[in-house]
């Protein structure tokens, strides 16, 4: 595995027909960061910030958070890093925050919903991020955006915190890019209005798949029943990407799908050109990209998206094997 990584680390993720696919890394702990250099990712597409909040017995203060985010910036150097604001609640409870027991925690008081209701949590996190950026580009995305008004409220908070920080002498980030995660189906029918307001879109396919199929992402009884490599998912992702491309909004997919070579092939066939995954997946996915003819895969995936079948995994696997 190590040898495979080293062999492809410095090779570009470019297909046979010269299409570049950006391969980014998911991270959430400082110990993940050294992998960025080893694996050859071009940046961090998803930095999950909740882990330090979950392992403590009190809410981390601004200084603690700033120190942590500074280390992330140090390690990524000139490569881009996208921070996701706190995605706790639901099945990721915080021991020091009393939460009522919920019947459906995945669809409950979590992520942006919670941090908009407890704005001090979000404000402190934004302060820490702005301070840690120290004049660099700051990329922030918000999890579980369901209604545009939530994104607007979050953006308003970023603007207010930025103004406060500048007033107290903090160097402003060179640029702030704000994105929405697409994980809740309701957002699909607000894209026309959302796209002009965001700098990027990141598809959280783990949650999106669970909500589109009404199938708990952690329930083993359901894992074989529904397949993400299926016409509805391919159609959804293709339409979504086409809409974002038309509005010039970059799309990344940062769920587990991105890290599996066959899924990555299908996602590229849906038009997605940025994939964010765990460090160990970069080398195998890069090899898939390098062997691929994107035009051909696009035709195939668009054809498969129109079939009347539960899963297209077998067809895609046969195609991939046939093509070596």
Judged by the rule CB under 6 A, the positions of this chain that interact with ligand PEP are 46, 48, 87, 183, 204-207, 254-255
- The one segment of 67-75, 133-141, 207-215, 283-291 that binds Mg ion by CB under 5 A: 207-215
Question: Under the criterion CB under 5 A, does residue 227 sit at the interface with Mg ion?
Answer: no
Nearest CB to ligand PEP, comparing residues 150 and 165:
150
Question: Under the criterion CB under 5 A, does residue 32 sit at the interface with Mg ion?
Answer: no
* CB atoms inside a 10 Å sphere around CB 107: 16
281: tokens are 């997946």
User: 3-state DSSP call for residue 225?
Assistant: coil
Q: Give least dist CB 122 to ligand PEP, A.
A: 17
Question: Under the criterion CB under 5 A, does residue 207 sit at the interface with Mg ion?
Answer: yes
Tell me the chain's radius of gyration from C-alpha atoms.
Answer: 20
Nearest CB to ligand PEP, comparing residues 19 and 222:
222
119: tokens are 């704005």
Q: Give least dist CB 217 to Mg ion, A.
A: 9
- The one segment of 70-78, 123-131, 176-184, 260-268 that binds Mg ion by CB under 5 A: 176-184
Nearest CB to ligand PEP, comparing residues 144 and 300:
144
Instruction: Find the length of the chain.
Output: 324
Q: By C-alpha distance, which of 258, 244, 223, 262 is closest to 179? A: 244
Q: Give least dist CB 217 to ligand PEP, A.
A: 8
CA distances from 159 to 79, 123, 128 (A): 24, 11, 14
Nearest CB to ligand PEP, comparing residues 222 and 320:
222
Nearest CB to ligand PEP, comparing residues 47 and 69:
47
Provide the sign of the torsion angle of the four alpha carbons 153, 94, 83, 78, taken in this order.
positive
Q: Measure the CA–CA gap between 257 and 269, rounded to whole angstroms.
A: 13
Q: Measure the CA–CA gap between 314 and 307, rounded to whole angstroms.
A: 13
Nearest CB to ligand PEP, comparing residues 8 and 41:
41
| Residue 255 binds which entry of ligand PEP, Mg ion, none, CB below 5-8 Å type-dependent | ligand PEP
Q: Residue 123: CB partners within 8 Å, gap ≥ 6?
A: 157, 161
| Residue 86 binds which entry of ligand PEP, Mg ion, none, CB below 5-8 Å type-dependent | none
Residues binding Mg ion (CB under 5 A): 183, 204, 207
């Amino acid at each position: 595995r190590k040898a495979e990584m080293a062999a492809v680390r410095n090779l570009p993720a470019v297909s046979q027909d010269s299409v570049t696919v950006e391969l980014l890394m998911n991270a959430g702990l400082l110990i993940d960061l050294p992998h960025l250099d080893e694996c050859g990712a071009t940046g961090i597409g998803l930095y999950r910030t909740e882990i330090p909040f979950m392992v403590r017995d009190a809410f981390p203060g601004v200084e603690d958070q700033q120190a942590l985010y500074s280390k992330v910036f140090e390690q990524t150097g000139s490569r881009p890093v996208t921070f996701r604001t706190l995605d706790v609640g639901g099945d990721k409870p915080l021991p020091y925050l009393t939460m009522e027991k919920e019947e459906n925690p995945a669809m409950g008081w979590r992520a942006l919903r919670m941090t908009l209701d407890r704005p001090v949590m979000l404000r402190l996190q934004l302060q820490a991020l702005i301070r840690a950026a120290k004049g660099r580009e700051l990329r922030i995305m918000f999890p579980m955006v369901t209604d545009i008004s939530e994104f607007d409220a979050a953006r308003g908070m970023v603007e207010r915190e930025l103004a406060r920080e500048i007033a107290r002498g903090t160097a402003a980030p060179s640029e702030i890019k704000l994105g929405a995660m697409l994980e809740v189906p309701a957002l699909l029918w607000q894209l026309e209005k959302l796209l002009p307001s965001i700098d990027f879109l990141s598809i959280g396919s783990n949650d999106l798949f669970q909500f589109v199929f009404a199938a708990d992402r952690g329930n083993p009884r359901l894992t074989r029943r529904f397949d993400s490599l299926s016409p509805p998912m391919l159609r959804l992702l293709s339409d979504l990407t086409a809409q974002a491309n038309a509005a010039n909004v970059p799309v990344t997919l940062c769920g587990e799908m991105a890290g599996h070579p066959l899924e990555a092939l299908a996602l590229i066939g849906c038009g997605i050109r940025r994939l964010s995954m765990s460090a160990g997946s970069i080398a195998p996915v890069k090899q898939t990209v390098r062997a691929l003819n994107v035009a051909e895969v696009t035709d195939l995936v668009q054809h498969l998206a129109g079939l009347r079948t539960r899963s297209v995994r077998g067809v895609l696997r046969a195609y991939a094997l046939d093509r070596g």
